[in-house]
Amino acid sequence: MNKKIERSFILITDFITVNLSFIFFYLLRVESGIFDLISRPDFLLPLFAVYIYWLLVFTFVGMYRTWFAVSRFDELSTLFKATFVGIFVLFFLIVYDDYLSGTKATFPFYIFVYWGIFLVFVGAGRLTIRSVQRNLLIKGFGRRNALIIGYNQKANEIHSTIISHRALGLDVVGYAAVYAHNLDKEYKGIKVCGTVNNLEKLIDEFNIKNIIVALEYRQEDILLDVIARCEGKNVEIKIVPDLYDIISGQARTMQIYGMPLIDVMPELMPEWEKKLKRLMDISLSFILLAVTLPVTLLTAIAIKLDSRGPVFYRQERMGMSGKIFKIVKFRTMVADAEKHTGPVWSSKGDPRITHIGALIRKVRIDEIPQVFNVFKGDMSFVGPRPERPFFVEQLSQEIPLYKRRLKVRPGITGWAQVKHKYDESVEDVKTKLRYDLFYIENMSLRMDFKIIFRTIFVVLFGKGHYE
């Protein structure tokens, strides 16, 4: 079952079960005579509104991500947690509506009756779909070819686990060894069909959809090479631990029947989320450009009075897929600050920073003009900070995986910005790269909202570079 078909089945099943649970509850509440009614409630409008509400809740908590090796218990556990929060939001909305309408407030315990009905209907629907999916996979439908990187005891163990659990839907079709002397070996009838040096060819030749990396300790360079070779290929990469420190604890983790894995997500964000993220960027940037106009005018006047030079500072940065664009910021340094030094890191107490520049950096006002870059599409509100081409080339030589940041649109704020200070050295960049990789591997609208709220906290309390 491919991802689109799987997601479609889940959406259809949820549509049916969410609406059935509401219909059943409506009949119980209105027609049974068990509950006291002040007036007969509407049916169609609440039916539509409640479905949209649960669709948003499920989407927000990631219940429409494609499924791999998640037990049915985990599926129900996620459903319970999502509905637990969702039902309390409905509870408070009902209480608030009663308050606004002047209705005598009573404890709406019937909402918890609805919750129980909802869990039964939706849980049963999800279990049915997952059971059908597992049975189809076991019978050979929708299975995916897998390639194991490395030939060692760890690789053989994960191979045995996959063989003994056909519900995973994976068929190991070969090994890609690190060393050429393993080329003639095989395990359970599956041969070493090549090395990591011809990984791209093996992916195409065997129609590989899953790559499981099972390397020996301290083979970090091989792991980085594997990830680089898989760029642009429609494959999922899962890493057997021991190399967890390479991702610095930042990647999405999961397990298959007790075997822990690190999931390096090839689909950084579903297509619908990308489009919604861009739509939110356009809408919010338009609103902010209008709302912050008075602040922009006052800041421009202050910069002009404080020092000579232009109000805005434009600088080349490298964006998504290596595209060069000019970022716009309020000037916080003296004019021509790098005329005699060339590109250098900013530092705490940098003498090039003007008096007003220090203030607007502290409260992050200097970032306001970048909203225009967001509106144009060069940037997003949330993402890794864009770096200058000079430093991108320098840092990519020194830091493995640095250019992986270019897979997503850069942002005004990001996980690295709320967790760490401004870049003052290569060591700062290395630290922030770990946070950027965490964001890239876990990016979602939920993650974006979390970062935005934390950014607001940072701005309000003056956290960051000037702590």
Digit-coded pLDDT (tens) for 213-258? 988 766 667 877 887 788 778 888 888 766 444 444 445 555 555 5
Segment 169-186 shows an average pLDDT of 89
**CA distances, 126 to each of 12, 36, 134, 365, 452 (Å):** 11, 33, 12, 47, 32
What is the CATH superfamily name and number for domain 144-264?
NAD(P)-binding Rossmann-like Domain (3.40.50.720)
Contact yes or no for 168/145 (Cβ under 8 A):
no
In this prediction, residue 179 carries a pLDDT of 85
Segment 51-80 shows an average pLDDT of 79
The CATH 3.40.50.720 domain(s) of the chain lie at: 144-264
In this prediction, residue 274 carries a pLDDT of 83
Task: Provide the b/e sequence for 359-391 (b: ≥16 CB within 10 Å).
Answer: bbbeebbbbbbbbbbbbeebbbbbbbbbbeeeb
Digit-coded pLDDT (tens) for 86-131? 888 887 776 666 555 555 555 567 788 889 999 999 999 999 988 8
* Secondary structure of residue 114 in the 3-state scheme: helix
- Give me the residue label for tokens 């619908």: 272
| 318 band by pLDDT with thresholds 50, 70 and 90 | very high
In this prediction, residue 104 carries a pLDDT of 53
Report the sign of the C-alpha dihedral through residues 64, 69, 70, 73, in that order. positive
Token readout for 406 is 């270019």
Per cent of the chain over pLDDT 70 is: 78
CA dihedral 125, 129, 130, 132 (to 10 degrees): 140
Q: Please provide the size of the chain in residues.
A: 467
Burial class from Cβ neighbours inside 10 Å (0-12, 13-18, 19+) for residue 305 reads exposed
Task: Give the whole-angstrom CA distance, residue 457 versus residue 450.
Answer: 11
Q: DSSP for 6-31?
A: HHHHHHHHHHHHHHHHHHHHHIIIII
Residue 177 pLDDT greater than 80, yes or no: yes
Contact yes or no for 316/391 (Cβ under 8 A):
no
In this prediction, residue 174 carries a pLDDT of 94
In this prediction, residue 357 carries a pLDDT of 80
Residue 394 pLDDT greater than 90, yes or no: no
Among 265, 312, 288, residue whose Cα is nearest residue 438: 265
Contact yes or no for 124/190 (Cβ under 8 A):
no
Task: Give the whole-angstrom CA distance, residue 353 versus residue 344.
Answer: 13
Digit-coded pLDDT (tens) for 27-36? 887 766 665 5
Amino acid at position 36, single letter: D
| Structure-model confidence comparison of residues 69 and 260, the more confident one | 260
CA dihedral 417, 429, 322, 285 (to 10 degrees): 10
Task: Give the whole-angstrom CA distance, residue 47 versus residue 432.
Answer: 46
The mean pLDDT of the chain is: 80
Segment 15-25 shows an average pLDDT of 93
Among 434, 395, 399, residue whose Cα is nearest residue 416: 434
Chain-centre distance for alpha carbon 276: 13
In this prediction, residue 467 carries a pLDDT of 35
Residue 460 pLDDT greater than 50, yes or no: yes
Of the candidate ranges 106-110, 255-259, 302-306, 383-387, the one whose mean pLDDT is the lowest: 255-259
| 171 band by pLDDT with thresholds 50, 70 and 90 | very high
Q: What's the maximum distance between 2 C-alpha atoms anywhere in the chain?
A: 84
Q: Cα-atom radius of gyration of the chain, to the nearest Å?
A: 27
In this prediction, residue 466 carries a pLDDT of 37
| Structure-model confidence comparison of residues 262 and 338, the more confident one | 262
Contact yes or no for 145/204 (Cβ under 8 A):
no
In this prediction, residue 74 carries a pLDDT of 77
Of the candidate ranges 56-65, 237-246, 367-376, 441-450, the one whose mean pLDDT is the lowest: 237-246
Contact yes or no for 405/237 (Cβ under 8 A):
no
In this prediction, residue 36 carries a pLDDT of 59
Among 424, 312, 298, residue whose Cα is nearest residue 367: 312
Digit-coded pLDDT (tens) for 127-167? 998 888 888 888 888 888 999 999 988 899 889 988 988 88
Token readout for 367 is 């970032």
Task: Give the whole-angstrom CA distance, residue 366 versus residue 292.
Answer: 12
Token readout for 340 is 């005699």
Segment 9-21 shows an average pLDDT of 93
Would you tell me the crossing angle of helices 271-291 and 445-460 to the nearest 10 degrees?
30
Token readout for 169 is 């839907």
In this prediction, residue 132 carries a pLDDT of 87
